[in-house]
Every structure is written in C-alpha cells, then in structure tokens.
Amino acid sequence: MSRFDLKELVAYINLNVKSKMKIMEVCGTHTQAIAKSGLSNMLDSRVQLISGPGCPVCVTPEGYIDASIELLWQPNTIIVTFGDMIRVKGSVKSLEDCMEMKTRIKVVYSPFTVLDIAQNNKNMQIIFLAVGFETTAPLIAAIVKLALQRGLKNLFFLVGLKLMPQVLDKVLSSKDSKLDALICPGHVSVIMGSEYFDFVPDKYNIPAVICGFDYEDVAIAVYYLSEEVRKGKKNLSNLYPKCVKPKGNTTAKELLREVFQSKEGFWRGIGAIDASELTLKKEF
C-alpha cells in the first residue's frame, strides 16, 4: 500500500467515526510502528490508540532484575541475556549499572548461542535470562532439551516467560479499561494460532484483529476495527493469514507443553496474575 493510499484510508476512518473508541494494541512491534508512522496523530481525536502489556521488557518485574544482579555476583557465574534486558532497572540497578562485572555478562542475539557458551565454559555456571512471551518460549524449550541431551550441567535458566491470554483477561475484565477493540499480538498468534484469541469477542463482546507489523498493516487493522465498532459487530479477524493459522505452530506448542507448566506470575506495573507465567517442569 502506498503512502497516498494510507492517507486515504486514514481519511476514511476519520470521516466515518461516529463516537469515541479506544483500541488497544498488544505488541511492542505494533507500538513502534504506530509511533514511527505518527498514526495516532493522523487519526481523529475520537479514535484513541492505547498501548497494552505486550513488551516483555516492560512487564518484567523489578524482582527479576534484582535476582539477575544477585546471581551475577555469585562466584564463577556468567549471565547470558538478550540486549534489551541490559538497561532494564530493578529496584535500584540495571545490569548495565554493573558493568564492572562486564566480562561476566554475555549479550546474545540467538538463544542457541548459550549452548556454545556453556560448552566452552564448563568451569562456570551459565545462567540464561529467559524472558519473553509465547513467541520466545518454544526456542527456550528447545534449548532446555538440547542442554539436557548434551549433558550441560552448568547451564541454568532464570525463567520469566509470560502468557498473553491471562494478562488480557486482567486488562479486559477491569472496570477501568473500557476498551472498544483489540489488536492482538501478531508474533504470539504465529505460534499459538488465531484461535488462541477467540475468547476476546466471545467473552468480552468486543471486536479483535490479528495483523502484520508494518504501519500500513496496523492502519488497516484500525480500519477494520473502526468499521466493526461502527456496525456493532464483534468478530475476530485474521488479517495475517500468510503467517497465522487457526491452530498455530503445532510443533512449537508441543514443545511448550513438554517443557513448561504455568504458575502465578508478577507483572511490572500490574501485579500478580494467576497462571500467567511459565516455569520448567520438574523433570527439567
């Protein structure tokens, strides 16, 4: 879609909006697309875009960061993490604030790199900061299984993986939310399938869409939702069918079931939510 077409689409939305509507996106990538494109400023003031708890860095609690820093100071320990966790503050410090220990902080781009680090540093405890949502969790599960198969007894996981439906339940059931529509997280949908979010229109009687990650994709999602709200429809629309199937990625989902179980999780800025976090099963 060209920029000219995007302007026409936004103009159509603005022309036809009849009342105030709050649309929440639940994906950090969608939030970035909205911010970079200026989409919120292009839309009529009656169409309000709200950012939901879809960024794993943003919802990781202070206590998790504090635990990471405490582990960093243990003898013969290496902390392995994705780069986006380095600057996240705990109650006092971030890992970046502990750079006097920088030789024991390893930033990786692929979680599979942690296997090589453990293999090459068998005299050290390797602790991987496993943070993310259902998108990242299957990769972590695969690493856990590979570490077990390779006998890497020096590799440990500080698991902070979160589950999306539980936090959406928390938000949508709140009397203060008053949301009119939802843009579901595309990455999570690729893994878990569109059916994973059927509960949104079924339980909360609001329309929802699954979409791609370009700002044009998000604008089209807003168009669909504004039309649904205007016409009083309550559907879940999959606008990303080339990547999102109804059942999702069955192999990835089986990995999740095999390696993890759910438990109560604590979310920064939200609090405790039952069964919203993954933890390793006892056999792992």
Residue type, 99: M
What tens-digit pLDDT sequence spans the chain (284 residues)?
444 578 889 999 999 998 999 999 999 899 999 999 999 999 999 999 999 998 888 999 999 999 999 999 999 999 999 999 999 999 999 999 997 888 899 999 998 999 999 999 999 999 999 999 999 999 999 999 999 999 999 999 999 999 999 999 999 999 888 899 999 999 999 999 999 999 999 999 999 999 999 989 999 999 999 999 999 999 999 999 999 999 999 999 999 999 999 999 999 999 999 999 999 999 88
**Model pLDDT, residue 1:** 45
Give the separation between CA 115 and CA 229, rounded to whole angstroms.
49
Query: Could you tell me the CA-to-CA distances from 141 to 66, 153, 257 in Å, in that order?
Result: 24, 16, 9
**Model pLDDT, residue 221:** 96
Residue type, 35: A
CA torsion sign, 95 to 101 to 102 to 104? negative
3-state DSSP helix/strand/coil percent for the chain, to nearest 5? 45, 25, 30
Q: What is the CATH number of domain 57-161+249-280?
A: 3.40.50.11740
